[in-house]
Amino acid sequence: MDRTPETSQILFVNVQNLLDDTEINHHLSLLSTHNIKSNFFDTTGKAQASVEDFTSFVIIVLNETLVQQYLGGILTNAAWDAIKSTMLKVWQATLGKKYYIIRAHAEPEPRDVTLGIELKSEKHTIHFQFSGEMSEEMQSKYIDKAFDSFTKLCEDAKSDILPHVARFDQEWKLVDKRKEIEEKQKSTRKKKKK
């Protein structure tokens, strides 16, 4: 019997339209076998602020309890395999999919569906942005590297009420959100002047 505490939880955001009910039920059952509660939240079709540069369309959130079990080496291999296989299935389901940004007085703009995995600690949340088509083996390595680099990224992170964003470039690195926002604003101003 798995001894994963009942407070272990995973939240799946915007997954319902990617997987059919049979696949969702299979993964829910797989996770619940290891005492991991799963919840689904769907934001599709609802008006939202546009923060697509710093968040992903599909998000898998692992709560602090689950992350600490993994980092502390007390999460069973079977529980980790269930979590990871579910993450890989969701990632593969995002490939080639689109969603649309709708802005006032503009045509709907297609965007690639992106995947983010958020890991939480007591003081920080790191949103790992995953992108690109690659083999399942490479996807698996990216996920492993995200979990393995979480502690160091938390040490590097400054206090912030918003999640920190990490992108992969040879290794997982935190994104300077302020710098990216300033660059985007400059770019937008230049386009308006033309």
What does the block give as tokens for 82? Answer: 């269930």
Q: In this structure, is residue 50 part of a structural domain? A: yes
Q: In this structure, is residue 4 part of a structural domain? A: no
Alpha-carbon separation of residue 32 from 63, 82, 115, 194 (angstroms): 15, 9, 23, 56
Q: In this structure, is residue 92 part of a structural domain? A: yes
- The pLDDT of residue 5: 47
- pLDDT by residue for the chain (194 residues), tens digit each? 444 445 568 988 888 778 888 988 898 899 999 989 988 877 776 665 555 556 788 889 999 999 999 999 999 999 999 999 999 999 998 888 888 887 778 888 888 888 999 999 888 889 999 887 788 899 999 999 999 999 999 888 877 667 788 988 888 999 877 777 777 777 767 766 66
Q: In this structure, is residue 39 part of a structural domain? A: yes
What is the per-residue pLDDT across 124-164, written as a single tens digit (0 to 9) for each?
889 999 887 788 899 999 999 999 999 999 888 877 667 78
Q: What angle do CA 46, 123, 83 make, to 5 degrees?
A: 65
Q: Name the domain count of the chain.
A: 1
The single-letter DSSP state of residue 147 is: H
- Residues 113/57, Cβ–Cβ less than 8 Å: yes
State whether the Cα torsion 119-120-121-124 is positive or negative: positive
Q: In this structure, is residue 3 part of a structural domain? A: no
The single-letter DSSP state of residue 127 is: E
* pTM across the whole model: 0.81
Residue holding tokens 């593969």?
92
Domain containing 168 equals 9-193
- The pLDDT of residue 131: 80
